Amino acid sequence: MTIDAASLPYRPCVGVMLVNDAGRVFVGKRIDNKEGDAWQMPQGGIDDGEELHAAAMRELAEETGVASSLVTIIAETREELFYDLPEELLGRLWKGRFRGQRQRWLLLRFAGSDADIVLDAHDPAEFNEWRWVEPHELPDLIVPFKRRVYRQVLEEFGPLI
pLDDT digits (tens, 9 = 90+) for 79-125: 999 999 988 887 777 877 898 999 999 999 999 999 999 999 999 99
- Dihedral sign from CA coordinates of 45, 47, 50, 56: negative
- The rounded radius of gyration (Å) of the Cα atoms in the chain is 15
Are 28 and 138 in contact by the 8 Å Cβ rule? The answer is: no
pTM for this prediction: 0.93
Q: How many domains does the chain have?
A: 1
Question: Domain containing 103 — which CATH number?
Answer: 3.90.79.10
Beta strands in 24-149 (DSSP E): 25-30, 39-40, 43-45, 71-76, 81-84, 100-110, 127-133
Q: Which amino acid, 97?
A: R
In a domain, 2, yes or no: no
In a domain, 4, yes or no: no
Q: 70 is in which domain, residue-wise?
A: 9-160
Residue-wise pLDDT tens digits, 16-68: 999 999 999 999 999 977 666 789 999 999 999 999 999 999 999 999 999 99
Bridge-partner residues for 27, per DSSP? Answer: 131
Bridge-partner residues for 105, per DSSP? Answer: 15
